[in-house]
Structure 1
Amino acid sequence: MPPPPPGVFVFGVRAVDAAGNSSPLAIITIGDVPDDEPPTAPSRLRLTGPRDGHYQITWDPSDDNVLVAGYEIQQSGTVSAVTLVGDTFAYGESRGYGTYLFRVRAFDSAGNFSTPATVGIAVDPVPSIPPPPPTP
C-alpha cells in the first residue's frame, strides 16, 4: 500500500474543567505542506467604550487556506493582546482624552500575518466652563 499523499492536519485542543470553564484553543499541526499564504485581513472593525477603563474592539473573522490561529492587536503601535482561534474581540486601555489607534491582523499556524486593519478614535478633553461674569 503506498503512503498517503503529503498533507497537513491541524487540530485544536481545549481543556475543560468540571465547572465547564475552557482554556484557549491550542493549535497542533501535523504534516509538512508549506503554507506561505497569509490570512485575509480582519474586516468591519468596531470600537465601543470606554467602559471600566477599556475600549472593546470587535471584528469579523479572517479566512485562511489552512486555519486562522488567532489575531494580534496593537494599541498605538505596541502589541497589547493576542487572541486565539475563534476570538474576534479584544480590549484596549483607555487613558482619558487623546488619540487611540488600534491595529488588528490575523495570523495562521505557519506564522503568516494578514495585512492590518485599523480603527481609531480621538477623545477631546471636557471643555472648561468659563466663570460667570462679575456682578456690577
Structure 2
Amino acid sequence: MDLNRSPYTIAEAAAEEIRALNHVTLGKKPFNQPADVYSVTDSLVTLIDRMPQVLKQLGQSVQTLQDAQAIRMDDGSDPVLRVAEALGGLADAQRGLLTVSEALRRAKSPLAGMGGYLADDEGDDDV
C-alpha cells in the first residue's frame, strides 16, 4: 500500500481497476468456475464495505474546510447551502452502500456452495 500518493491518484487508480474489471468480465465466458465468480464477488464486498469510511472522511474534510471558511463558490454565493448539499449526498451514498453490501452478501452466500465440473466429470452420469 503506497500512502505517498494523493487521495485523487488513489481514487483514480481504483476507478480504473473497476473499469478494467468491467471489460475483462464482458463476453460469454469470462469465468471458468463458479469459485472464480465467488472470489470476485467477495472482493467487491470488501471494496463496498471500505467505501463508507472514505465517504465519511470526505464529508469531514469538506466540513473542516467550511469551518475554516476555506470554501468559496465560483458564482460568488454563500457556500453554506452547497456544503450542506454535498454532505447530504455523501451521507446518502454511505447509506446506499450498506444496501449494496447486503445485496452482494446475499449473492455471495449461494456462490460459496457452487462448484464446477472437472474436465473428467463433464457429461458423466455417475456424478
Q: Which has the higher contact order (CA 8 A, sep 6+)?
A: 2
For the aligned pair, the TM-score class normalised by the smaller chain equals under 0.3
Greater helix fraction, Structure 1 or Structure 2: 2
The answer to which structure has the higher strand fraction is: 1
- Normalised by the size of structure 1, how large is the TM-score? 0.23
TM (norm. structure 2) is 0.24
